Amino acid sequence: MAERKTTRRRKPAPKPCPDCRAGQTSESFQVGGRRKHVSDDRQEALCLTCFGTGQAPD
């Protein structure tokens, strides 16, 4: 007698984070000694919504 095979259910794909792509965002930063001014350049930062996972919080 043949064994019965059971099917596995797939978990739904996680939703992407609405605020970032791949868990990182770019933001401006301040430069200078005493008189700080905002630089024209951008730097990568960890997304605070998903904490770097890239998935929407539940």
Domain boundaries, the chain: 16-30+42-58
Contact 6, 36 (CB under 8 A): no
Structure pTM? 0.50
Residue 34's pLDDT band, with cuts at 50, 70 and 90, is confident
**pLDDT reading at 24 higher than 80:** yes
Beta bridge pairs of residue 26: 44
Q: Can you say how many angstroms the Cα of residue 27 is from the centroid of all Cα atoms in its chain?
A: 14
**pLDDT reading at 58 higher than 80:** no
